[in-house]
Amino acid sequence: MTESVGKVGARLRAGRKSSRRASGGIEPFHGLEVVLEDHGGDLMTLKEVRLVTVRGAIAASLDAMEAGGAALRWARHLLPPRHAEPAAWAVLVRLLDTLDREVSRPRAVLALGGLALLASVGYALELERCIVCGRPCPDGAPAHVDATRGGLVCRRCGGGGRLLDARTRGLAARAQRSPEEGEDWLAPLEALPPEPTETLLAILGDAMAAHAGLETG
């Protein structure tokens, strides 16, 4: 993932040989400054690499590594090649930076970041009204979320999906609102308990299966 040209594939010539210019620092989760050479094919050539941001706390925590790896995998499948996605880039950088600080709650960070990532590429879940009939969900009421269909499905329209309690539904809706609306997707972090976190991650798994072809589980 790059900030300026989006997702790209790149090769490192003589990559097994030592190179002070290009071989050092190529590890997941860290922030790199790279020089790429475009030959017009599917793969660019990686010419130079400079380590800019070290996120060592992620590498020291298995749970944080799993969360960061899941976020990068989601992005790799969601984002089109060679197309800059500034909103998605900002979410990923913030997610990894937060994992590097909040290693005690990596799955909650992943859940909120996953919702923000979906929203950044136009796949935000409808969490306030039924996606079939448009009927608003009453405040304080739990609701069924069918991520494969895009959001809430009321009982009159068949329900289905996963049941989300009202409080978590509100936190999730807040997390996926865009920065232009004055919301910070990390704001609900401290209010998100473990059990609802797992429900949100299951919903995200359903969404990634629908939009990115990833297997659930």
Q: Which pLDDT score is estimated for 196?
A: 95
b/e code 146-172 from CB counts within 10 Å (16+ = b): bbebbbbbbeebeeebeebeeebbbbb
pLDDT for 177-186, tens place per residue? 876 666 789 9
Asked if residue 115 has pLDDT above 70, the reply is: yes
Q: Which pLDDT score is estimated for 20?
A: 46
Find all residues with CB under 8 Å of 79, minimum gap 6, and list them.
Answer: 1, 6, 7, 85, 88, 121
Q: What is the mean pLDDT of the chain?
A: 89
Answer positive or negative: Cα dihedral of 136, 140, 141, 147.
Answer: positive
Asked if residue 214 has pLDDT above 90, the reply is: no
Asked if residue 16 has pLDDT above 90, the reply is: no
Check residues 217 and 187 and name the one with the higher pLDDT: 187
Residue 32 backbone dihedrals phi, psi, to 5 degrees: -120, 150
Check residues 12 and 126 and name the one with the higher pLDDT: 126
Q: Which pLDDT score is estimated for 25?
A: 56
Q: Where does the pLDDT of residue 42 fall: very low under 50, low under 70, confident under 90, or very high at 90 and above?
A: confident
Cα distance between residue 162 and residue 202, in whole Å: 8
Check residues 157 and 26 and name the one with the higher pLDDT: 157
Q: What is the mean pLDDT of residues 171-182?
A: 82
Asked if residue 21 has pLDDT above 70, the reply is: no
Domain residue ranges of the chain, discontinuous segments joined by +: 1-54
pLDDT for 50-106, tens place per residue? 999 999 999 899 999 999 999 999 999 999 999 999 999 999 999 999 999 977 899
Q: What is the mean pLDDT of residues 141-167?
A: 94
pLDDT for 30-41, tens place per residue? 999 999 998 888
Q: Which pLDDT score is estimated for 18?
A: 45
Answer positive or negative: Cα dihedral of 73, 75, 78, 81.
Answer: negative
